[in-house]
Amino acid sequence: MANKFDLAHIAAQVSTKKRTDLPPVEQWDPPLSGNLDLYIDSSGQWFHEGQVIHREALVRLFSSILKREQDGKYYLVTPVEKYAIEVEGAPFLAVDMNCFTKNGEQQLELETSVGDRVLVNTEHPVWVIEVDGQPRPYVRVRANLDALISRSLFYQLVDMADEKKLEEDGVVQLSIRSAGEDFILGSF
């Protein structure tokens, strides 16, 4: 069941102000309103009806009402509507990093292409899975939503990583430290 979704109408309502608070989408559970011809590719690019959405403010608005439910599917939600969308991989892309020291501890803050900033910690961990022999690094952005870490940012993290040899099997792990926690980037 496909619905005609009027992007022009929504775009006219989009504010160019920077968002400071995200809506409480986790608290919203309206019935399914339908499917949208909206797609997020593996590089974090948003498409509507096969065309790239070029308005950054519109993409940021949509990203603020994005929800991933327990079934693993993605939805754009409001208090009264819920539309299913397609996401290839992760909906966001981590593209930048700020490294600083606070209370003597290294802190890594990652920024996504839609403006989310997250401090790498136990609530926002970094992890790496292997896909077809290649590392795919991710960071948890918010409530069940993740960002793929861009290749150039991953290389920066690897460059900062510490090597730790595991005594029992001779494997060496690369890990980064942020907010007092270690996060494994890979082993060799």
Average pLDDT over residues 54-83: 93
Please name which of 169, 142, 161 lies closest in space to residue 63, comparing C-alpha atoms. Answer: 142
DSSP-H helix ranges across 7-160: 7-13, 56-64, 151-160
pLDDT beyond 80 at 1: no
CATH number for the domain harbouring residue 25: 3.10.540.10
Which tokens in the block code for residue 63? 């990203």
**Given 53, 69, 87, which residue is the final one in a domain?**
87
Report pLDDT digits (tens) over 122-169.
999 999 998 888 889 999 999 899 999 999 999 999 999 988 877 677
pLDDT at 170: 76
Report pLDDT digits (tens) over 69-79.
998 999 999 99
Share of the chain above pLDDT 70, in %: 88
**Given 87, 112, 146, which residue is the final one in a domain?**
87
Domain contains 154: yes
Enclosing domain of residue 120:
92-187
pLDDT at 80: 92
Total domain count for the chain?
Answer: 2
pLDDT beyond 50 at 15: no
Q: Look at 20 and 90; give whichever has higher pLDDT.
A: 90
